[in-house]
Amino acid sequence: MKINFFCLALLLLFYSGFAQSKDELRVRDFFWGANDIHSNTLEIPEKWKNESAVVLFKNENYDFNKSGMNINYTTSTRKRIKLLDKNAVLRFSEFTFDDLFTSPTKAYIYFVPVTIKAKRKKGYYVGIKVIKQDGTEIVIDFENESVQQDEETKIAISNLEVGDIIDYYIYKEEPFRSKIAYGFDPVESILSDEYPIVDYKLFFETENDFFINFNSFNGAPKLKEIKTEKNNTRRYSLEASDIEKYDSKNWFYPLVELPTYKFQVFFARSGRYEETAMAFLPEKENIIKNNVSQDEVLKLYDERFKPSYKIKSVDRFLEDKNITNDTEKVTAAYYYLRHYYLTRYVEAYYIREAGIMNYPFGYYNFSPLDLDDQKEFIIRFGKFLKDEKIPYEIVVAKKRFDGSIDDLLIEQNVNVVLKINLPNPLFLEYFGPYTSVNEISPFLEGTDIYTLSASKNNLDRIEKSKLPTSSYLDNESRKEITFSLDNNLSEATVNIKSRHKGHQKNDQFYGKLIYTDYVYEDYEKYQTESFIELLSKKTRAEYEPKIEALKTQLEEKRLEGLQKLTESEFGIDKIEDYVFEIQETGRYGFDSYFSYEESFKVKDAFVKKAGPNHIVELGKLITDQIDLTEKDRERTENIYMTYPRSYFYKITFKIPAGYEVAGLEKFNINVDNTTGSFVSEAVLKGDEIELSVNKNYKHNYEPNSNWPLMVEFLDAANQFTNEKMLLKKL
**DSSP for 387-427, written as a single string:** HTT--EEEEEEE-GGG--GGG---GGGEEEEEEE-SSS-EE
Q: Does the CA dihedral 114-118-122-124 come out positive or negative?
A: positive
Residue 18's pLDDT is 47
CA distance 655 to 259: 58
Residue 370's pLDDT is 65
- Predicted confidence band of residue 292 (pLDDT cuts 50, 70, 90): very high
Residue with the bigger pLDDT between 17 and 247: it is 247
Half-sphere exposure in the Cβ direction for 593 (13 Å, CA): 15
- Predicted confidence band of residue 181 (pLDDT cuts 50, 70, 90): confident
Taking a C-beta distance cutoff of 8 angstroms, is the pair 264, 412 a contact? yes
Q: Which one-letter amino acid corresponds to residue 99? A: D
Contacting residues for 572 by C-beta, under 8 A, at least 6 apart:
566, 602, 605
DSSP 115: B
Residue 148's pLDDT is 66
User: What is the average per-residue pLDDT within 328-335?
Assistant: 96
Half-sphere exposure in the Cβ direction for 516 (13 Å, CA): 13
- Predicted confidence band of residue 416 (pLDDT cuts 50, 70, 90): very high
Q: Percentage of residues in the chain with pLDDT exceeding 90? A: 74
CA distance 625 to 712: 13
CA distance 718 to 193: 31
660 — phi, psi (to 5°)? -125, 165
| The pLDDT of residue 95 is above 80 | no
First vs last Cα of the chain: how many Å apart?
Answer: 59
User: What is the average per-residue pLDDT within 24-30?
Assistant: 90
| The pLDDT of residue 82 is above 90 | yes
Residue with the bigger pLDDT between 612 and 270: it is 612
E-state strands within 132-243: 137-140, 147-149, 152-154, 165-177, 182-183, 187-190, 197-207, 210-217, 224-226, 233-243
pLDDT tens column, 506-525: 989 999 999 999 999 999 99
Residue 94's pLDDT is 67
User: What is the average per-residue pLDDT within 163-168?
Assistant: 94
Residue 425's pLDDT is 97
Q: Provide the mean pLDDT of the chain.
A: 89
| The pLDDT of residue 623 is above 80 | yes
Q: Which residues pair with 53 in a beta bridge?
A: 83
63 — phi, psi (to 5°)? -120, 130
User: What is the average per-residue pLDDT within 90-106?
Assistant: 52
Collapsing DSSP to helix, strand or coil, 446 comes out as coil
Residue 20's pLDDT is 65
Taking a C-beta distance cutoff of 8 angstroms, is the pair 300, 411 a contact? yes
Residue 67's pLDDT is 84
| The pLDDT of residue 113 is above 70 | no
| The pLDDT of residue 189 is above 90 | yes
| The pLDDT of residue 634 is above 50 | yes
